[in-house]
Chains A and B, each alone.
Chain A
Amino acid sequence: MMENKNLIEKLERASLPEIEIASHKRRLKRALINEYFREERKGDVFNIVRKLVPLGAVAAVLVALIFNNLIFPKYSLAEAEKIALNDPQIKEWTEKGSVIKDIEIINNKAYILIQPQEEIQKPSAFLKAETSEIKEEFAGALVEVDFRGKKVSKIEKIAPEIASLTEKEQERVKEISTNDPEVNKIIPKEASILKIKTTPPSMKLKREDDSVNVVPESNTDKEVKIIYEYNRNQWESKIDLNKEEVKSVNFLGEVPE
């Protein structure tokens, strides 16, 4: 029979989940900031109308419109996205699977971070005839939107951080993968390593006074993928470099002729 004292001890020492969903945090922040601007607009209009009632309703509405739209325009994240997505280059990237990761508004400009979507859920969708050479991949871009001109004023591509592993590191990665029971269970012994590649880190915008920088998200795992091939079948093992363990093993499918 458990006593109160034991129960308190059990409750006090229980290991608690410390989980955070970064994508939810970001999306909720954006939605709230959008709401902020909407509410603020409503507030501005109300205050101005109240002050100008003696001058007549028409005049008040006009003044409110001028204040809100011309003299002190408040720019929203949705507006920034809309302008950015009208740009042909950004449209092309998003059609190819890149997404808007983060937005910061500074004065009359918005800074938008675009990055390729993470490869998840459908491994077969990423199956391709891999080669051992490293292709230059789109790692993302920082886009500057000019609200006044209603256009994209600058696009800076982010340098792809394909941090090549040293020979020693490559050996270590192979060792982790080869010794993993899940890898041995799923991938045939005869399969050869086709490619070892690092995954570009997930980035975010960091605001510093009147400028923004693109920085890696602090909680991003350092991940390496090993692509195996045997009889035109491909597998992928993902290795967490920080923890030095295999995170997942996936069958990618058969390489098309």
Chain B
Amino acid sequence: MNLDEEKELIKRAKKDPDVFGKIYGEYYSKIFGYTLKRVANIDIAQDITSETFFKAFKNLWKFRWQNIPFSAWLYRIASNETANFFRKKGRKTISLEGISELISDSNPFAEIAEAQEQLKRHKEFLDLQKKISTLSLKYQEVITLRFFEKKQIKEIGEILGKKEGTIKSLLHRGLDKLRRQINATN
């Protein structure tokens, strides 16, 4: 989807719940995947993803097109929400049960347990993520976006609202700190 098509879709989403549903379907996996790679915990990733979409949804009505992809805007909210999580661990999160108490669903516990098992199998990723999570948030963001989300420097700049030069320098310093951290523990 190019920027013009995306712009048109966002415009329609403000008036049509089906289009809104389509946009959600398009981006849910990306945002959940990103938050999971940031926090390496299924429950927390679910909470942050919920908060991200609620915040995005609340602001969709006043969303103004600024020539950056919609996904970059969503990633930015997810990054901010992840930062909020790290800043105040144990905060209150949005409960889907509270919002839609009438809504029942297939029992999600087995699915979550299975997902946790699946996550445990990615030992190399978990080891790296554990080390990355000890760095400052600004380094965590750029390293995760660059290597785990496979984003280009320009895209990371759009997501974080920073210049490409700044991203390159954050990446360089972040990698250096990560390497020293790994060497120190080995």
Contacts and interface: CB of A to CB of B under 8 A. Distances in A.
A220 B130 CA distance: 31
B128 A120 contact: no
A170 interface: no
A117 interface: yes
A24 B46 contact: yes
Given A2-B186, A17-B125, A35-B54, A99 B175 contact: no
B138 to A, nearest CB: 17
A27 B96 contact: yes
A23 interface: yes
Given A11-B147, A27-B100, A31-B96, A17 B122 contact: yes
Nearest to A43: B61
Interface stretch (A61-69, A76-84, A141-149, A157-165): A76-84
Given A17-B119, A20-B32, A117-B107, A28 B42 contact: no
Interface stretch (B67-75, B79-87, B110-118, B160-168): B110-118
Nearest to A39: B61
| Interface SS of chain B | helix
A16 interface: yes
B105 A99 contact: yes
Contact of B106 (A16, A37, A99, A207): A99
B134 interface: no
Contacts of B103: 27, 30-31, 77-78, 81, 100
A25 B108 CA distance: 11
B179 A23 contact: no
Contacts, number: 154
Contacts of A8: 147, 175
B133 to A, nearest CB: 14
A25 B179 CA distance: 36
B29 interface: yes
B1 interface: no
Nearest to A116: B106
A34 B100 contact: yes
Interface string A179-198: 00000000000000000000
B109 A121 contact: yes
A21 B105 contact: no
Contacts of A24: 32, 46, 49-50, 96, 108
A254 B50 CA distance: 42
Given A14-B125, A17-B122, A100-B105, 11 more contacts: A8-B175, A19-B36, A20-B32, A21-B108, A27-B108, A32-B20, A39-B57, A78-B102, A78-B103, A81-B103, A207-B18
Interface of B: 17-18, 20-21, 24-25, 28-29, 32-33, 36-37, 42, 46, 49-50, 53-54, 57-58, 61, 96, 99-100, 102-112, 115, 118-119, 122, 124-125, 128, 143, 147-148, 175-176, 178-179, 182-183, 186
